[in-house]
Amino acid sequence: MTASKTKSSIGYSSSKLAIMILNFQIVAKRLACASVFALLFAALLAGCSTPPAGRSSSRSSGTSAAPYSSPISSFTAVSWQALPGWQDDELTQAWPAWLKSCDALRKRSSEVNWREVCTQASNISPRDGQAIRRYFENYFQAYEVRSSSSGVETGLVTGYYEPVMNGSLTRTSAYAVPLYAYPKAWRNAKPSPAPTRAELMSSGALKGQELAWVQDPVAAAFMQIQGSGKIRLEDGRVLRLGFAGTNDQPFKSFAQWLLDRKEITRSEATMQGISQWAKRNPSRVDDMLNANPRFVFFKELPGNVSAELGPNGALGVPLTGERSIAIDLRSLPLGAPVFLATTKPLSNQPLQKLVMAQDTGSAIVGAVRADYYWGSGDAAAEMAGRMKQNGKMWVLLPR
């Protein structure tokens, strides 16, 4: 989930578009015997119709219609051998994320039949990578995702993360940058149009809505872009903040504001490059931040939410570092397993993994488009801030 993200659970679902889904058609296979021994073999043939044995993992490319229809994507059935790195992926690392998807999919109304595959998942050992691989190959068909308008099978893969920063519940000389709760006055009557960031900051309208105080205004702005974060308090506690709403203003990139003014180069248009510019130009930071009229508000998450879990995505389950992605809801069904083939930031090193489509974002637009969740903290921020790669995607749908 990124800056402009608008999840339903942590603030990035401002405009969900309707999905067109076709009913999954199951073609009954009929077995016939032409020999005089047909009656003798009838009982034996009937006993061979259990789901695992009756499914084939070697279906040839293009022979199966996808049980899902998208207004912007086309799907072509492919063999598992077509997925680069499929045999090398440590699927035990992806399994907990898939079980989280199943927890949500069981409760959701969907024309994609997730029920059987999620029921079968309970029979799989989470420590047996080969059993997990056989499970996906037996119960799912892989479909290459392409843009239905252009036919292109590659697209943009960016990254996001959950910020972690030091802070305080009260303003101090060290912690003077506020993070705000959703204005109480807006709950019954939200102004239309709502004030921009610049107007909110100059009017004092948010006084008394402070949830916590942090050090760095740029880090606070990036936390708004991500939509959630953790604040390490001075007494050792961790305050977890989730998305509570916005001022309904459009998102505009302050990186683009800097580029337009030739303040940074294209290679510096990263989270790290912007932070470095801000340190060199402290008097102009507010001007830069006000270039984005959108303002994000937070809420404190319950104390029983584990600090080790990721933030909840649009699916309503905690995200898993390096195994969850945000997708365009017009392209893929929320919760689906997706095989992603891209490269690590600023390199040609392959990043080929099974991930789960557990989040959405208003900036995540397109058929072959993913935002890869790196996890929490500084290391995740470093990777996410530099990621802007080409990639391919295969959605795995029940047979």
What is the rounded radius of gyration, in angstroms, for the C-alpha atoms of the chain?
24
Fold of 162-300: Ribosomal Protein L25; Chain P (2.40.240)
pLDDT of residue 139: 98
State the average pLDDT for the chain: 86
> Taking 80 as the threshold, does the pLDDT of residue 306 lie above it?
no
pLDDT of residue 64: 60
> Taking 90 as the threshold, does the pLDDT of residue 362 lie above it?
no
pLDDT of residue 7: 40
Q: What is the mean pLDDT of residues 9-25?
A: 33
> Taking 90 as the threshold, does the pLDDT of residue 65 lie above it?
no
Q: What is the mean pLDDT of residues 64-69?
A: 83
Q: What is the mean pLDDT of residues 341-349?
A: 95
- What confidence tier does 16 reach under pLDDT thresholds 50, 70, 90? very low
Give kind and range of the element (H or E) at residue 136. helix 129-139
pLDDT tens across 148-204, in order? Answer: 999 999 999 999 999 999 999 999 999 999 999 999 999 999 999 999 999 999 999
- What confidence tier does 363 reach under pLDDT thresholds 50, 70, 90? confident
pLDDT of residue 19: 30
Q: What is the mean pLDDT of residues 306-317?
A: 86
Q: What is the mean pLDDT of residues 299-310?
A: 78
pLDDT of residue 361: 85
pLDDT tens across 371-386, in order? Answer: 999 999 999 999 999 9
Q: What is the mean pLDDT of residues 306-311?
A: 79
Q: State the alpha helices, DSSP H only, in 247-349.
A: 254-260, 271-280, 285-290
pLDDT of residue 109: 87
Could you tell me the CA-to-CA distances from 259 to 17, 198, 253, 390 in Å, in that order? 31, 20, 10, 22
- Which is higher by pLDDT, 307 or 244? 244
What does the alpha-carbon distance between residue 158 and residue 255 come to, in Å, rounded to a whole number?
15
Which residues, 6 or more positions from 374, have their beta carbon under 8 angstroms from its beta carbon? 159, 160, 161, 321, 322, 380, 381, 383, 384, 387
pLDDT of residue 180: 98
Q: Which of 81-90, 273-282, 298-307 has the lowest mean pLDDT?
A: 298-307
- Which is higher by pLDDT, 97 or 270? 97
Q: What is the mean pLDDT of residues 81-86?
A: 98
- What confidence tier does 62 reach under pLDDT thresholds 50, 70, 90? low
Which residues, 6 or more positions from 265, have their beta carbon under 8 angstroms from its beta carbon? none
Residue with tokens 């959703």: 182
- What confidence tier does 51 reach under pLDDT thresholds 50, 70, 90? very low
What does the alpha-carbon distance between residue 197 and residue 195 come to, in Å, rounded to a whole number?
7
Q: What percent of the chain has pLDDT over 70?
A: 83
pLDDT tens across 108-152, in order? Answer: 988 899 999 999 999 999 999 999 999 999 999 999 999 999 999
Q: What is the mean pLDDT of residues 55-76?
A: 73
- What confidence tier does 34 reach under pLDDT thresholds 50, 70, 90? very low
